[in-house]
Homo-oligomer: A and B are copies of this chain.
Amino acid sequence: MNKSLQPDLLALVRDPIDPRTLIAHVRAAEDGAIVTFDGCVRNHSHGRRTLFLDYEAYESMALLKMREIAGQIHEQFPIHLVAIAHRLGRLEIGETSVFIAVSSAHRPAAFEACRFAIDTLKRTVPIWKKEYFEDGAVWADGEMPPAPLETRTAKPAS
């Protein structure tokens, strides 16, 4: 019922993420727990000093995958609402690249759902990060999304 009145918030944004907007979105009088994850740009990566990052996304698919994550969370955990925002473009050290807020009546579901959301986002949402160092830039090592099984058409040996 609440879901139809105030659905989950899923967004890709180019301006700085304001956590308060996402928290306000999920927070309601029936909730006893809100867990948030704030992923921010570290000043180092693999022992090297990071200057800044640049994120790009396959936006239409990324939003679909984020909505899938929200759906999985509601199926698996007794939560109230989830809000996920990922920023794209150039990000400076300390800025928030991804913010997730989950509200629930009780804390275990909020913790588990928030953790599931970021873990799944990092494996399945088509977003890429380029890391800029003093001596160059590299695309970050990423994770391979779970590939569908190949259904090979049987071919006669020729």
- List A residues at the B interface (Cβ < 8 Å): 19, 23, 27-44, 93-94, 105, 107, 110-111, 114-115, 118
Contacts and interface: CB of A to CB of B under 8 A. Distances in A.
A107 to B, nearest CB: 6
A79 B12 CA distance: 28
Contacts of A105: 42
Contacts of A43: 29-30
Contacts of A23: 19, 38
A39 B32 contact: yes
B31 A42 contact: yes
A114 B41 CA distance: 20
A34 B36 CA distance: 8
7 contacts: A27-B40, A31-B42, A33-B38, A34-B40, A35-B37, A36-B38, A37-B111
Contacts of A114: 35, 111
Contacts of A118: 107
Contacts of A115: 107, 111
B27 A31 contact: no
Nearest to A39: B33
